[in-house]
Structure 1
Amino acid sequence: MCFLYAMTLKERAVNNIISRHRRTGVVCQCPDSCYKKDIVRYGSFYLRLGAMGFGIGSMVYSGLEFGQYFARDSHCDDTVLVFRSATRMLLTLMQIQFMFLNNKDLKMGRYVPVARFGLMHMIATNLCEWLYVLVEETKHEIEHLSHYDVSDHANDEEANETDAAFNTTELHRLRRGVPSHLCSRTNIVGMLVQKSSPYLFPCTVEYSLICAVTLYEMWKHIRIPPPIRVTHHVCSQSIGRDFSSNSLNGLRSAHHFTLDCDSSQKGLCAGILVLVLTIISLVLFLVLHNEENYVQLAVYEVSICEMCIYILCTLAVLACMVRIRVLPAETGHGLGLDNSLLVMAQAGMYVYCIFSIIGFNYAEKTDVPGGAAIEILALMQTTVQTILVLDASSRRCRTKADRRRKPGRELISFLLVANAAVWMINVMQKGHAEYSPQHLKFFGVWPWTVITHISMPLAIFYRFHSTICLFEIWKASYKLKREHC
């Protein structure tokens, strides 16, 4: 990134010199940068916006980790980890600017060996960062659950033996002077990181996933630019004005954004109603879950809410699949960046749902009514929704009648908001391993924590990215191209 930015600054200096000569009417050679260039974008606008949001969450997570080492105990020596958190924040900020905020083509095709090596190294870095955060948070969650009250869910003697072995190991580490990973979470800032990590560490996982796939798309499209014929001409002031006006017109058209909300009101109202009811259900769950006498009631009401949403979304997806098939499909569309990310996130949904079904089926008792049925409904709903997105993303209006009727748009509007409601359920409730005590008992603390931390960030990302894909269908599939007018 530093190399490409240095080359961009060099080219900008050359262009400034050319501009000064143009104003004085001096004959010059106009390089390829004088001509209008199309702005290269990877991913939809809302994917880039979401990546910026996840990047901000990742920087907050790194910033809290950076701050907790300044409140550490005297026997903890984690100075190097301060630089790790700081460099992670710097890399996150630079990647956001590099991939999602840059308005100019960085002309990576001119430096193919450097660009290919650099992009592939950045891909590997994001994957390693994903794995590192996953391992660290899994480790801290296991440490947290080792002190969790499991008297009703596990053998007391076995729990006591585990705690004794754990504390003995930590005591030996402190006596040997080896820095313990518990040092970072014993101070007040560390406790803040522990409380906020279930909400912040998925941001790092999802940001790394988006960056890795986007960088791979950039790596695939690196091409050596064709030779450009340079001619001598007078760079007069009028030519400069014409070029500036044309460039401004091109930029204006590239950033022009319109929304047609026709045939969406009913679906949006129904989706907003579902979203409001979901928020009320989550508020009740978070409040009642802390009261000993109302824990069972809290689990019941949020489970019923989740089951109803899955049933409504499944029916809406099936009805939309029938209606949208009226629109013809365009050939030549590949999987694309957005659909590739959706399929990868779908794998996380499969992992979480399948292991949850197994846990509910073989658990001796469960506090969640219809827990296995809920996960089966989630599995079915996400499968048919992914099929709908993959099919509808290539369908376009061909006639004015299709544009006027907009088949299936009301249902897509409903699904767009309903997926946001399910995303809130996954973030606020299902991302915590301790909220599933029957799974902790059946699988054990280590396996279930690992399963949750691997699959749940992808499941959360699936709901977020589904809203992006559905919005792209809502916006693009019902536009009539000029050649069909």
Structure 2
Amino acid sequence: MAMHSMMEGACLNDVVFIHPVLHGLFTFLQMHFLFVNSQVLVERFGLAARFGFMHLAATNLALWVRLIVWESGNEWTYFVHLSQSSGVRGGVSNNIPTPLQLRGFPRSVVARHQRDLSFSSNATSYYSYRPISDSHISQVVALHECLNTNTLGQLWTSSMPFLYPFIVQFSLIAAAVTFVMGQNVGRGRIFMKQKKLANSHSKGCSMPSAGEHSLRSTWSVDCGGASKGLFLGILCLVAGIVVIIIFLVVKEDEEFPTDTIFWLTTGAVAAMLGLCCVMTSVGLVQIRRLSTSGQEPTPLDTLLSDVSTVGVQLYAVFGIVVGASGLGIRDITDTGIPHRHAMLLAVSALQLVQVTGQSVLIAEALRRATLTRHQMLAKPARQVITFLLCSNAVLWAYDTFVTQSWLSQELQLRFFGVLAWGIISRIGLPLLIFYRFHSCVLLLEIWKRSYRTPILDPGN
């Protein structure tokens, strides 16, 4: 809205401009509604209430789908425009940077597809692949040039790759919360009936002893059994932050070798994922020493964890496909391409294994607790939980600032193309970032709840 108010001319009509206004209003009102009523069980107007909650969930998912279509379609249209105009007019003639430049697209991707334009022998005509009409391309180019005539417009375009995952994560959380609330419509009456029935059966059956009345139970949480995992996790956190800072500094430097950036970023994430795989394997063995608590994860956490895990696995599988397919390619212009594909294959495989193992570990740890004295003293797997908490935090930052950059997705862009990979990445990457964030929340909950120690105080 601020960008629209600073424009010299009207780029959008009032009907199109009203969309961000309504989107912002919808987001604010929905956030207020969820914060105030997320724990409320709706008992009346069952069918209408359930329809309203499902409509809210579908609306949030529709906003995600619209964003995928809009962003991917605009980038692909402008990419086709650059590929067709590069051999005829020498590219864009004005000084306004293209959206591909503002969003950090690697230069090799655009240069590779300029070969789609071929000239005839007499140089009087040319033949090119035109999947989009010229009028559609002209509309997209004119809209971009109008929106990016000022600094605020260019800042908005360049920041969209970083803002997009947070929009998707908010839509995902809101859709999951409203879906669970819709499933719980009318559950309050059923719960009250079951509670009354249980109270009627328990009357006269047993009486609490005097010792139970005289003891009051409280819980304490300390940092025992977490020092080694915390130290190793902080070490990974510092190393990851250093790599992120280096990437953000050198990615705009055209003279800095892109191969060096690739090996630095992928080497760092491969080391962290490999260490996480080892620690997760140790945790899966040690967590079985804890007792079963009888508690189950909440339906909301289960839904969010399942959806985000599927998204991460989808993203990793496509990375494995790109890496495995590129191992047999020999590019005479770049002798390091096969090695980069092998590294991409290794990182994607590590990510698939690590996420699957960590999801199993989290699901198991949420159902266990320390009950015996030996468990309270030994605290099995707490070192692993502490390390995974720190490592998921740094991987969340890494995926937000490094993996999210188009420069880190050059091999995938060259294999799938701008349109296909634009859609795939806009589905998988936000779920990958959200998975790291949600894992931190669940691991912190495990760290506090599964290892708390009861303290019995004499009652009055």
TM-score (norm: length of structure 2): 0.75
Q: Which residue of 1 aligns with 2:431?
A: 458
Q: For residues 10-37 of structure 1, what are the alpha-carbon distances to aligned partners after superposition, in whole Å with 9 as ceiling and x for unaligned?
A: xxxxxxxxxxxxxxxxxxxxxxxxxxxx
| Long gaps (5+) in structure 2 | 83-99, 101-106, 119-126, 193-217, 330-336
State the alpha-carbon separation in 2 of the partners of residues 212 and 257 from structure 1. Answer: 34
Please tell me whether residue 156 in structure 1 is matched to residue 123 in structure 2.
no
Please tell me whether residue 84 in structure 1 is matched to residue 46 in structure 2.
no
Aligned residue for 1:108, secondary structure, equals coil
Asked if the contact 1:356–1:372 (Cα under 8 Å) also holds between the matched residues in 2, the reply is yes
| Long gaps (5+) in structure 1 | 1-65, 229-255
Deviation at 1:444, TM superposition (A): 1.5
Change (3 A) 1:105 1:206: closer
Q: For residues 316-338 of structure 1, what are the alpha-carbon distances to aligned partners after superposition, in whole Å with 9 as ceiling and x for unaligned?
A: 10101111101122446266321
The RMSD of aligned alpha carbons is 3.2
* Percent identity of paired positions between Structure 1 and Structure 2: 29
Q: Which residue of 1 aligns with 2:248?
A: 286
Q: Which residue of 2 aligns with 1:271?
A: 233
Deviation at 1:221, TM superposition (A): 1.6
Change (3 A) 1:137 1:366: farther
Asked if the contact 2:220–2:453 (Cα under 8 Å) also holds between the matched residues in 1, the reply is no
Please tell me whether residue 262 in structure 1 is matched to residue 224 in structure 2.
yes
Aligned length in residues: 388
Asked if the contact 1:275–1:421 (Cα under 8 Å) also holds between the matched residues in 2, the reply is yes
Alignment match of 2:263 (pick from 300, 311, 317): 300
State the alpha-carbon separation in 2 of the partners of residues 113 and 482 from structure 1. Answer: 47
Deviation at 1:224, TM superposition (A): 6.9
Asked if the contact 2:240–2:268 (Cα under 8 Å) also holds between the matched residues in 1, the reply is yes
Alignment match of 2:63 (pick from 124, 129, 136): 129
Alignment match of 1:326 (pick from 285, 289, 308): 289
Deviation at 1:408, TM superposition (A): 0.7
Asked if the contact 2:243–2:265 (Cα under 8 Å) also holds between the matched residues in 1, the reply is yes
Asked if the contact 2:295–2:366 (Cα under 8 Å) also holds between the matched residues in 1, the reply is no
Please tell me whether residue 317 in structure 1 is matched to residue 280 in structure 2.
yes
Change (3 A) 1:145 1:383: farther
Asked if the contact 2:42–2:185 (Cα under 8 Å) also holds between the matched residues in 1, the reply is yes
State the alpha-carbon separation in 2 of the partners of residues 258 and 134 from structure 1. Answer: 46
Asked if the contact 2:312–2:432 (Cα under 8 Å) also holds between the matched residues in 1, the reply is yes
Deviation at 1:381, TM superposition (A): 0.6
Please tell me whether residue 169 in structure 1 is matched to residue 129 in structure 2.
no
Asked if the contact 1:399–1:480 (Cα under 8 Å) also holds between the matched residues in 2, the reply is no
Deviation at 1:434, TM superposition (A): 4.2
Paired amino acid for 1:285: F
Asked if the contact 2:41–2:186 (Cα under 8 Å) also holds between the matched residues in 1, the reply is no
State the alpha-carbon separation in 2 of the partners of residues 114 and 413 from structure 1. Answer: 45
Paired amino acid for 1:290: E
Alignment match of 2:390 (pick from 417, 430, 450): 417
Q: Which residue of 2 aligns with 1:58?
A: none
Q: Which residue of 1 aligns with 2:312?
A: 349
Deviation at 1:430, TM superposition (A): 1.5
Q: Which residue of 2 aligns with 1:340?
A: 303
Change (3 A) 1:312 1:171: closer
Change (3 A) 1:224 1:457: closer
State the alpha-carbon separation in 2 of the partners of residues 268 and 159 from structure 1. Answer: 56
Please list, as runs of the form range in 1=range in 2, the aligned pairs for 1:63-462 lying within 5 A after superposition: 66-72=1-7, 74=9, 76-100=11-35, 102=36, 108-143=42-77, 145=79, 147=82, 149-150=107-108, 154-158=112-116, 168-170=134-136, 173=139, 180=143, 183-185=146-148, 187-223=150-186, 259-291=221-253, 292-331=255-294, 333=296, 336-363=299-326, 364=329, 365=337, 368=340, 370-462=343-435
Q: For residues 264-298 of structure 1, what are the alpha-carbon distances to aligned partners after superposition, in whole Å with 9 as ceiling and x for unaligned?
A: 22212211110111111121222233332432222
Change (3 A) 1:412 1:197: same
State the alpha-carbon separation in 2 of the partners of residues 171 and 123 from structure 1. Answer: 34
Change (3 A) 1:110 1:73: same
Asked if the contact 1:108–1:115 (Cα under 8 Å) also holds between the matched residues in 2, the reply is yes
TM-score (norm: length of structure 1): 0.72
